Amino acid sequence: PLSTLRPRPTSFPPFLPFFLPVTSTQVGRISAYISMAHVVTSRMSSTSLAAQQVILSAFYSLTPVADSLSLTGQSYVPSLSGRRLAVYNRRLLTVGVLFGVLMSAAMTLLPLLSPLMTADPSVRLAVSSASPCVARAFLLHGVVCAAEGVMLGMTDLNFLSAAYAVAFFAAPAAFLRVKRMRSPGTVDVWRVFGAYNLVRGAVWTARVAWLSRREGRE
């Protein structure tokens, strides 16, 4: 019966410590994408809008590849400890680097595939101009997702929520600087996103390295 699927009040308390940190993490992550969309739709030409749609189609097709690393970390990290955990974290980040290279290489093929998505030569040119920036952003995307999965698996939730609380304000501020440019294009917002991924990749990797060293000493 359906009544057996209804959650019981006693099942809520174990999840309450995760609610605020995980929610702030998701909101902080989404703020960057919303800010990017706002700048593109409010300030750029119809050609840039069309190019952004083509790029996002490819971007969202490839991001699940990196998201799988986050899910892997969340699944396996809680069952490990000590040196085994440190070794696993290092291997997962290494796989993240490999995935980033593969996704970046796939994104460099977008100019060749763009005729399948648009017949407008100006849109194809805009896609070709922005593709290198998107490819560079993808280089670190695997590491970002892998490290995030490790931190979630190790319940390092306070750090993640604090980091994304900063990102909630910092990412929109960076994108709004593009909006104030004289003639911004699609390439400009992806440069900002690449810098955003660079900061996340550096901070996340340093945090996982610190957590791994701490676990290795225990």
Average pLDDT per consecutive 10 residues, the chain (218 residues; last block may be shorter) = 66 73 81 92 92 94 91 88 89 95 94 92 94 93 93 89 91 92 90 94 94 80
- What is the model's pLDDT at position 97? 95
The token pair that represents 79 in the structure block: 């069952």
| Residue 149 identity (one-letter amino acid) | G
Number of H helices, E strands in the chain: 8, 0
Question: Which tokens hold the place of 210?
Answer: 């610190």
Q: Which amino acid is at 194?
A: G
Exposure string over 38-47, b if 16+ CB within 10 A, otherwise e: ebbeebbeeb
Give every CB contact of residue 188 below 8 A, 6+ residues apart in sequence.
178, 181
CB contact set of 116 (below 8 Å; sequence gap of 6+): none
Query: Residue 188 carries which side chain, given as an amino acid letter?
Result: D
Please state, in angstroms and rounded to a whole number, the distance separating the CA atoms of residues 81 and 68.
Answer: 22
What is the pLDDT at residue 7?
Answer: 67
Tens digit of each residue's pLDDT (9 = 90 or more) over 20-76: 777 877 888 899 999 999 999 999 999 999 999 999 999 999 999 999 999 999 889
Buried/exposed 136-158: b ≥16 CB within 10 Å, e otherwise: bbbbbbbbbbbbbbbbbbbebbe
